[in-house]
Structure 1
Amino acid sequence: MKIAGYIADLLYEYECVVIPGLGGFLTRDHAASVHPLKHYFKPPFREIVFNPLLRTNDGLLLNHIARSEQLSYQDAKGRLDRFVLKCISVMEEGKRISFRNIGSIYYNKDQQLVFEPDETQNYLAESFGLSGFVSPPIKREEFQQKVEKVFSKPPLNKTEPLRTPHPETDPNPIVNKHRHIASRRPSRLKKQLLIIGTAAVVMFAAWAIMNKHTVQYYYQNYSGYASLVPMFYASPNEFMIRHMDKIPLEKLIIDQKLPEKARISNLLRPASNDLVPAKPYQAPLEETSKEVETNELENLPAADSADIFDDFEMQDSETSDEGVAFESTIVSEIVSSPVVVSVPTEKPQVKKFYIIAGAFREKQNAEKLIRELKTKNFESDYAGQTSGGLWRVCFESLENEQQAMLRLQAIKKNENENAWLLVI
């Protein structure tokens, strides 16, 4: 039975709550107060005191207990009597009886009942939510100190009245030394723009911090686009060298107007006699050399096949679109020759799928990560460099896209959720 809780509920509404056979709790309301030395402001509060002489049953506590516990009046009285007898026996042993949020009672050396209230609890409903606080004193100057402060200052020098100078009539004109200089007021627009710019930078920085994975993804995949801007290079030659692979040299060579005799003489140069005879095939002039096929091109000597392009500067490139178009023009000119020439078709490039673990500016950090991944039984290795100079490190590389996707999901689940797939 929660006797302390029932007593606390009644103290908010009643001035006296009696425990029959033990004593009564009385309340006294106090106004707000200020401690003169500690400068502590205390809100209005209700003080709780205990009177051991009030032992007569007034029925207030018993009715409240019976109503809350859903008991009869006699059952509630029996429980309360047993509680009082137990409290008296405990206090006679020298112990204290503590009522939660109310206080504690005990016998002192003179066998007198003493009550210590709980000062942290305020039972005044009008002061709900108010708490005490400490405020430093306000220092004010007295009238005498103000007078002494004024008279302690030195007197101001009286200046002569200013006169307008007349250089013709006045031999000693008075020149006004205190000239007013016009000053420009600070622009409100500049101040507002500065505030808006600062707020935008702060918001962008906060967004970048909260979405660091997204920022890292864009930095790793799109940082190379800055290399397309010429102003980021020290000289035009450096820009040309960096983008040499994007210049269509084959198209420029085709567009050159070379003498036809020189072109035919180079093309009709006699080859070796190791060629296997093949049936002549008349191809239309509009078709490209991809339609003219032969299996005997491999028997041509390397030196003779290179002589066909002596007068042209061809660039060895990985792409075959421009190269095929160039060679088809040559074949169309000599289609009447009994020697059938074709260009070998380009073998399909095998794609490799790299599961990237990270990218590092320093190569030492990349090597460290490779060693760590190898200790975990990963076939870790470098996956090239980004256009920004970062060293990519992969968990492993595969040639099957489906297997690569399955391995990526497993690595994201068990090892690194930030892993991603690079296709080269």
Structure 2
Amino acid sequence: MTLAKYISDLLYRYECVIIPNFGGFVANKISAKVNHFTHTFYAPSKQLTFNSHLQNNDGLLANYIATTKNISFSEALLIIEKEVENWKFSLSKEDLEIENIGSFHLNLEGKLIFNPTTTVNYLTSSFGLSSYVSPAVKRIAYKENVKQLETIAPILPSKENKKKTPLFIKYAAAAAIIFALGTIGWKEYQKFEYNNLVAQSEQQQRKVEKTIQEATFVISNPLPTITLNVAKKTYNYHVIAGAFREPANAEKKLQQLLEKGYNATILGVNKWNLTQVSYESFNSKNQAINKLNTIKKTVSKDAWLLIKEY
């Protein structure tokens, strides 16, 4: 399984997936929309953007790879590092295409330019919905109708109609003016709608970046590789063995616990920039407390219980 597949799986569940030393993919939810020129209707979706400043490892992608492939956290990091090196090497020569994500190329200033895919909708609530085209409603040809009416019922000169313009001619003229004004107004509306969408996208991305700086990601129930509609356990209770400033120390602690037979996990970086390592994680509070009491009596009095709500 390539790195693109793991990223794609996570984008169905999270608003941001960071690839260490490369950048982060941010998914912003957008409402249903219609293209008035092609008469195409689109379902609600997630709009992918790329932020090259999000390069610090938050543990999300590495934990998912480690759990899915049943390997250590450090081995998962090596897989990511190798894939990123291949991406950067490809970009130095040609455009980079990431399956179901989008494509990259370098501009004249050497900056990454991202073009997201339009064939995949990462919004699970829109699963099964696709775009469709509705034929345009043809406008009435007012001039032709007026000519036909004049042929069928010609206007005879009289004192009254010499002074007054027939009503249907007034209506036809008014309709022509409204149509012309509507065309100009519609172009301005389209321009306003596009600018508004860009502003909303930038605002949502800033909000997601702020959330990323404060959040701690935990992956203990990876997605199935075939279908998304499978019930999964959520482990909210974690018996913490320690929190480390240096990621290398956290990895060392993890290996020690694994050698002792614990189902240990690196939970990622918390808001104090400390990497947390757990002895084990549970979906039952009673089981977690029982395990905590056992560890405090036999292993370490410094163990404590972390409760996370998802």
Q: Scaled by the length of structure 2, what TM-score is found?
A: 0.45
Larger relative contact order, structure 1 or 2 (CA cutoff 8 Å, min sep 6): 2
Query: Over alpha carbons, which structure has the higher Rg?
Result: 1
Name whichever structure is richer in strand by fraction.
Answer: 2
Q: Scaled by the length of structure 1, what TM-score is found?
A: 0.33
